[in-house]
Amino acid sequence: MNIINAGKQIFRIVRRTTFPNAYEKTILKWWSDGGDEAFRYNYELNSSSFVMDLGGYKGQWASDIFARYQCRIAIFEPVPAYASSIKKRFAQNNNISTFQFGLGGRTRQERIGICMDGSSVFKKAAVEENIEIMDVHEWFAKNLEGNVDLMKINIEGGEYELLERLLETKEILRIRNIQVQFHNIDKRAKVWVEEIRRKLSDSHNPTFQYDFVWDNWQLS
């Protein structure tokens, strides 16, 4: 989401706002508490760990995680141009794999509105493309032998069906840490977030939680 990725710039803008709304207050608290550097990279990982990056975009988060831990990473990016760029970026790194599709609740084709890191199937845009979505349960069955140490999810509204599928199939129990950005895609979103959080709490504990900014849930 652009407003979050703007980082310190948006922090300064929100801090000057006389009457910030609830979302702006959450962003302000996120950056006041340390932001990305304080939360999004600090995990108990090592070279044997396996990380999944859902919503790779340019691959920067994956690059930063690899620089810290030299772990294995699978990046999922459904937009062809972005996926191609990620593949080129990590062409010499055998620990990082790129998949040109997204993971979701069922296998299908979708139309996505192209808007840089805000590209979404829930947005209309001047440029749209066909993309592939694969059932996350199907991908786990075919590709995952062990467990996932960290799954980062930033998929512009697709997180709801993805997490519901992981909960339904109990694959959620194979994921040690879930770093997710929930998106306020429509009037149902707040209720949807709380329902998913309630279900996650049966198996995971929140280690940080900033509404529509970032959550992290760690396996109990």
How does pLDDT run across 18-42, given as a tens digit for each residue? 556 888 899 999 999 999 999 999 9
Say whether pLDDT at 9 is over 70. no
Section 194-218 average pLDDT? 98
Say whether pLDDT at 75 is over 70. yes
Query: How confident is the model at residue 10, as a pLDDT?
Result: 54
The Cα–Cα gap between 169 and 124 comes to 31
Three-class SS state of 88: helix
As annotated, the residues of the chain forming the CATH 3.40.50.150 domain(s) are 40-219
> What percent of the chain shows pLDDT beyond 70?
88
Three-class SS state of 183: coil
Say whether pLDDT at 5 is over 90. no
Say whether pLDDT at 3 is over 50. no
Amino acid identity of 39?
F
Query: How confident is the model at residue 181, as a pLDDT?
Result: 97
- In the chain, % helix, strand, coil (3-state, to 5) comes to 40, 25, 35
Lowest-pLDDT range, 6-15, 60-69, 87-96?
A: 6-15
Q: Residues 36-41: contacts with CB within 8 Å, 24+ apart?
A: 36/7, 39/208, 39/214, 39/216, 40/152, 40/179, 40/214, 41/65, 41/68
Residue, of 169 and 185, whose pLDDT is higher: 169
Average pLDDT of the residues of the chain: 90
The Cα–Cα gap between 215 and 40 comes to 10
Say whether pLDDT at 4 is over 70. no
Nearest to 216 by CA among 192, 197, 199, 198: 197
pLDDT tens digit sequence for 154-177:
998 999 999 999 999 999 999 999
Say whether pLDDT at 66 is over 80. yes
- pLDDT grade for 122, boundaries at 50, 70 and 90: low
Say whether pLDDT at 112 is over 90. no
Out of 3.40.50.150, 3.90.1150.10, 3.40.50.720, 3.40.50.300, the CATH code matching 40-219 is: 3.40.50.150
